[in-house]
Amino acid sequence: MNDGACARPTPYCSPALAICIECLNDRHCEKKAPRCDTEQGTCHECFESADCPEARPHCREEDRRCVECFAEEDCTAPEHTCDVPQNRCKPRCMTSADCAGVDAYCHPERAVCVQCLTDANCAEPKKAVCRLQDNVCVPR
């Protein structure tokens, strides 16, 4: 097998694996996932936190993505805490009156503003189900 036998999204032939893969080195990866796992031939956003941009300075190992936070102390903005299921720094809240916009509901245990608490909070017909693990409205 050679590179001529491979096509997007796996345009390179791995000599070691004898299969078509996404990358052989970092040059083969795109900006959104610039690091190549040369053993698996797959592109990722990061392998360690040093690979991540300032706005999302932590590398989440399980999916090799850069995230804002893992714990409250990772959030530097005043009155913000880490919404761990989303790995995002969000305003801390006591009630839904403290929340506005897309994230209009205060999660009672996590004390952060979220998109939904129940399916009834999801008004958009194409995203009518509240996925409870991260409190985001998703398609049925």
- Degrees, nearest 5: CA angle 67-84-60: 35
**What pLDDT, on a 0 to 100 scale, did the predictor assign at position 5?**
86
Model pTM?
Answer: 0.75
Structure tokens at 81: 């805490």
Over the Cα atoms of the chain, what is R_g?
A: 20
60-112 pLDDT per residue, tens:
999 999 999 999 999 998 889 999 988 999 889 999 999 988 889 999 999 99
Cβ pair 78, 98 in contact under 8 A = no
**What pLDDT, on a 0 to 100 scale, did the predictor assign at position 91?**
85
Least reliable range by pLDDT among 20-29, 58-67, 93-102, 121-130: 93-102
Q: For residue 128, which amino acid is it?
A: A
Please tell me the distance from the alpha carbon of residue 68 to that of residue 54, in angstroms, as a whole number: 9
**What pLDDT, on a 0 to 100 scale, did the predictor assign at position 83?**
92
